[in-house]
């Protein structure tokens, strides 16, 4: 499959032109939305409407792929009062499911950014400190998972799985014990709504042995461990393109 990054959750290195309107201090979706102010919704809506279209889904299927992973931020699902983010992404996620089904593609819905940021990268929505697992951030994240599950978990005709969080940073301070507890709670929330849709968890770049026996059958079912390597950031692999 292929990850459709830079669409419903902005990443400067994927879609840099979107950030130009916000000035040089726009380094993530948080600062871009803050800098654009009242123009943010109009500006982002134009991007959502044009960056990815149904033709892209057709081309993905024509290339022989069978899955798409669609990142989305918590603010699209469960906005927090006082934050500058704008909403409207779920309308396009709804469209994406239609496009995917029309092209016989399966969809992984990925909660790519969570309150407080799980890795401090711009792909979490806000660059800087890692504050996920502090205060009410896990509770707020579970609310977002619940909202996603209500809306999409029973769409097993096209939804392959819901991913509970993208690549939390253990070196950055995310605690493994709390992460595992969150995974269990997130799994239960999804399972309360649908008994078959997949639940994906990030390996957090940890060795496989850390996950041995975790959320294992028969007590748990249709759990997927997400592990990947970003070869695009490796100079050797970049020479292959």
Q: pLDDT tens for residues 55-94?
A: 999 999 999 999 999 999 999 999 999 999 999 999 999 9
Strand 2-3: give its sheet, edge to edge: 2-3, 67-73, 106-113, 159-163, 198-202, 223-226
CATH no. for 2-226 = 3.20.20.80
C-alpha span between 107 and 46 (Å, rounded)? 23
Can you give the pLDDT of all 241 residues of the chain as single tens digits? 999 999 999 999 999 999 999 999 999 999 999 999 999 999 999 999 999 999 999 999 999 999 999 999 999 999 999 999 999 999 999 999 999 999 999 999 999 999 999 999 999 999 999 999 999 999 999 999 999 999 999 999 999 999 999 999 999 999 999 999 999 999 999 999 999 999 999 999 999 999 999 999 999 999 999 997 666 666 776 677 6
Q: pLDDT tens for residues 149-169?
A: 999 999 999 999 999 999 999
Q: What is the 3-state secondary structure (H, E, C) of 39-62?
A: HHHHHHHHHHHHCCCHHHHHHHHH
């Amino acid at each position: 499959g292929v990850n459709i990054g830079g669409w419903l959750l902005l990443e400067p290195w994927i879609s840099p032109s979107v950030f130009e309107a916000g000035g040089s201090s726009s380094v993530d979706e948080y600062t871009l939305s803050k800098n654009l102010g009242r123009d943010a919704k109009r500006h982002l809506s134009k991007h959502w409407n044009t960056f990815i279209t149904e033709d892209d889904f057709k081309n993905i299927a024509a290339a022989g792929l069978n899955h798409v992973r669609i990142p989305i931020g918590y603010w699209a699902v469960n906005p927090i009062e006082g934050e500058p983010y704008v909403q409207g992404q779920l309308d396009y996620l709804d469209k994406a499911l239609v496009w995917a089904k029309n092209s016989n593609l399966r969809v992984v819905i990925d909660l790519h950014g969570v309150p407080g940021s799980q890795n401090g990268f711009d792909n979490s929505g806000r660059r800087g400190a890692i504050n996920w697992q502090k205060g009410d951030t896990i509770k707020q994240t579970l609310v977002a998972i619940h909202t996603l599950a209500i809306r999409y978990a029973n769409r097993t005709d096209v939804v392959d799985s819901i991913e509970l969080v993208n690549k939390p940073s253990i070196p950055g301070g995310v605690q493994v014990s709390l992460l595992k507890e969150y995974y269990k709670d997130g799994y239960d929330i999804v399972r309360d709504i649908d008994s078959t849709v997949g639940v994906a968890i990030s390996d957090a770049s940890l060795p496989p042995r850390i996950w041995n026996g975790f959320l294992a059958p028969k007590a748990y079912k249709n759990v997927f461990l997400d592990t990947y390597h970003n070869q695009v950031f490796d100079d050797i692999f970049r020479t292959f393109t």
